[in-house]
C-alpha cells in the first residue's frame, strides 16, 4: 500500500470516529431511544444521498472499517472471562439457546427472503 | 505496559486473518483465534481483564465508527435494496420477530432466569442496539454483549452450512440470512459470497436493528 493511501485511510477513519462521537453525544442530548451509532448511520446516509458528502471523501476509510470489523469485536469477546460463575451455572443452557435460536432465525430469514425474491422474479418473467 | 495487550490483539488478528484467507477453515476465523489466544495469554500471565481493557478498550470502541461506515455500504448498494425491497422486507421482518420470540422462548424452555431471558432476546441485533434494547427490557447489558457476540460467531459457523443445506442460491437470500441473524459478523461472512450478498447483509442488519428496537417490547410482553 502506498503511503498517501495509508494517510487517506487514517484521515477518513478519523472522520468516522469523530462522526461517531458526535452522534453519541447528540443521541444523549436528545434522549433518543435509537442508539447514537444508528442515528449517525442514517444521518451520514442522508448526506451521501443528498450529495452533500461525496462518496470519494470517505470511501477508502469505510472500506477499511468494514474489512476490519471482526477485530473490533475481540475486546467484548475477551470480556467473557469476567463471567465465570454465570458460565459455570447456566452456560450450557445459554449456549443451547444461542445455537438453536440463531439457526432457527437464519432459516426463517433466509427462506422468507429467498421465497419473496423468487415470487417477484417469477412474476417478472411471466 | 498498557500497549502490550492491544499490540498482541492486533498482531494475532493480522496473522489469523492471513491464515484464514489462505486456508478458509472456519475454526481459524480471526473471531475465534484472536480471543482464544488473548484469553490464554491473560490466564497464563495471571493478568486481569481490567489490565487488558485499560490498553485495548479503544479497539472495541471502533464498533461505533464501523457501524456508521455502513452508511457508505448502504449508499453504494441502494440499487440492490430497491431491486430486492420485497425479499429484504419479508426476510428481515420474519427473521427479526422470530429472533426475539425464539430466543426468549428457548431461554424460558431451558429454565433460565427472567433477566437472562431479557438479555438474550435482542441478541440478533447489532451490538449497540442490542445493548440499549436489553437495558430497556430489564436485561443485563454485559450478558447481552457476550451473547450478541456468541450469536455472531455462531452465525458465521452455522450460516454457511444452512446456506448449503437449504440451497439458498441467491446472493439476496444469503445476505438476508446472515445479516438478519448474525449482524456485523454475518456481514463479514456474507462479503465472502460477493459484494451483492455483503450489501444485502448490511441492509438486513440495519433493518433488523429497527425491527428489534420497535418490536422487542411488544413481543416480550407475550412472555410475561
Local structure of B12: helix, strand or coil? helix
Quick check: B155 pLDDT over 80?
yes
Residue B109: what are its φ and ψ, rounded to 5°?
Answer: -55, -40
Q: How confident is the model at residue A65 (pLDDT cuts 50, 70, 90)?
A: very high
More confident residue, A112 or B127: A112
Quick check: A67 pLDDT over 90?
no
- Alpha carbons B23 and A79: distance in angstroms, whole number: 28
- Alpha carbons B131 and B154: distance in angstroms, whole number: 19
Query: How far, in Å, are A40, A69, B176, B180 from residue B77 at the CA level?
Result: 18, 19, 14, 17
Three state DSSP letters for chain A: CCHHHHHHHHHHHHHHHHHHHHHHHHHHHCCCCCCHHHHHHHHHHHHHHCCCCCHHHHHHHHHHHHHCHHHHCHHHHHHHHHHHHHHHHHHHHHHHHHHHHHHHHHHHHHHHHHHHHHHHHHHHHC
Q: Quick one: how far is CA B23 from the chain centroid?
A: 23
The residues, any chain, with a CB within 8 Å of residue B52's CB and separated by 6 or more, are A75, A78, B5, B38, B42
What is the predicted pLDDT for the residue at A121?
A: 58
Mean pLDDT of A83-87: 84
pLDDT in tens, B17-31: 999 889 888 778 888
More confident residue, B155 or B195: B155
Q: Give the ipTM of the model, two decimals please.
A: 0.87
| Mutation for testing the B interface, residue in A39, A64, A101 having most B CBs under 10 Å | A101
Residues of B within 8 A of A36 (CB-CB) are: 64, 128
Which residue from A72, A97, A108 is facing B94, i.e. has the nearest CB?
Answer: A108
Q: How confident is the model at residue A27 (pLDDT cuts 50, 70, 90)?
A: very high
How many contacts (CB atoms, under 8 Å) link A and B? 315
What is the predicted pLDDT for the residue at A123?
A: 54
Global pTM exceeds 0.95:
no
Quick check: B193 pLDDT over 90?
yes
Mean pLDDT across chain B: 91
User: Quick check: B7 contacting A, CB < 8 Å?
Assistant: no
* Subunit contact B95:A72, Cβ cutoff 8 A: no
Mean pLDDT of B80-98: 93
Cα Rg of chain A (Å, integer): 21
Q: Are B63 and B192 in contact (CB under 8 A)?
A: no
Q: How confident is the model at residue B206 (pLDDT cuts 50, 70, 90)?
A: confident
pLDDT in tens, A51-64: 999 999 999 999 99
Which residue from A61, A103, A108 is facing B158, i.e. has the nearest CB?
Answer: A103
- Nearest Cα of chain B lies from the Cα of A1 at a distance, in angstroms, of 15
Residues of A within 8 A of B223 (CB-CB) are: none
* Subunit contact B209:A38, Cβ cutoff 8 A: yes
- Alpha carbons A102 and B154: distance in angstroms, whole number: 7
Quick check: B106 pLDDT over 90?
yes
Quick check: B96 pLDDT over 70?
yes
Quick check: B125 pLDDT over 70?
yes
Residues of A within 8 A of B17 (CB-CB) are: 70
Residues of A within 8 A of B40 (CB-CB) are: none
Mean pLDDT across chain A: 89
Quick check: A125 pLDDT over 80?
no
Residues of B within 8 A of A94 (CB-CB) are: 107, 112, 116, 120, 147
Amino acid at each position: 500500500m502506498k503511503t498517501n493511501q495509508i494517510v487517506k485511510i487514517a484521515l477518513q477513519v478519523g472522520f468516522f470516529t469523530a462522526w461517531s462521537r458526535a452522534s453519541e453525544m447528540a443521541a444523549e442530548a436528545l434522549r433518543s431511544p435509537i442508539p447514537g451509532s444508528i442515528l449517525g448511520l442514517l444521518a451520514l446516509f442522508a448526506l451521501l444521498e443528498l450529495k452533500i458528502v461525496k462518496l470519494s471523501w470517505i470511501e477508502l476509510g469505510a472500506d477499511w472499517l468494514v474489512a476490519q470489523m471482526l477485530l473490533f469485536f475481540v475486546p467484548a469477546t475477551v470480556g467473557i472471562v469476567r463471567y465465570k460463575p454465570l458460565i459455570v451455572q447456566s452456560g450450557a443452557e445459554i449456549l443451547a439457546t444461542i445455537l438453536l435460536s440463531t439457526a432457527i432465525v437464519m432459516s426463517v430469514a433466509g427462506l422468507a427472503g429467498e421465497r419473496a425474491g423468487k415470487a417477484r422474479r417469477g412474476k417478472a418473467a411471466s | 505496559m498498557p500497549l502490550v495487550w492491544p499490540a498482541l490483539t492486533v498482531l494475532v488478528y493480522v496473522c489469523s486473518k492471513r491464515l484464514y484467507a489462505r486456508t478458509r477453515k472456519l475454526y481459524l476465523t480471526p473471531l475465534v483465534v484472536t480471543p482464544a489466544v488473548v484469553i490464554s495469554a491473560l490466564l497464563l500471565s495471571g493478568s486481569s481483564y481490567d489490565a487488558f481493557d485499560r490498553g485495548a478498550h479503544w479497539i472495541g470502541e471502533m464498533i461505533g465508527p464501523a457501524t456508521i461506515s455502513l452508511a457508505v455500504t448502504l449508499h453504494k448498494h441502494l440499487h440492490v435494496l430497491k431491486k430486492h425491497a420485497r425479499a429484504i422486507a419479508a426476510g428481515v421482518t420474519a427473521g427479526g420477530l422470530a429472533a426475539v420470540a425464539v430466543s426468549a422462548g428457548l431461554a424460558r424452555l431451558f429454565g433460565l432466569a427472567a433477566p437472562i431471558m431479557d438479555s438474550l432476546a435482542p441478541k440478533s441485533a447489532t451490538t449497540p442496539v442490542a445493548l440499549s434494547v436489553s437495558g430497556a427490557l430489564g436485561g443485563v447489558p454485559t450478558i447481552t454483549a457476550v451473547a450478541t457476540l456468541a450469536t455472531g460467531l455462531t452465525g458465521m459457523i452455522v450460516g454457511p452450512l444452512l446456506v448449503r443445506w437449504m440451497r439458498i442460491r441467491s446472493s439476496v437470500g444469503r445476505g438476508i440470512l446472515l445479516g438478519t441473524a448474525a449482524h456485523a459478523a454475518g456481514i463479514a461472512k456474507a462479503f465472502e459470497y460477493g459484494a451483492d450478498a455483503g450489501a444485502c447483509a448490511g441492509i438486513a442488519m440495519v433493518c433488523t436493528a429497527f425491527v428489534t428496537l420497535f418490536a422487542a417490547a411488544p413481543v416480550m410482553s407475550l412472555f410475561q
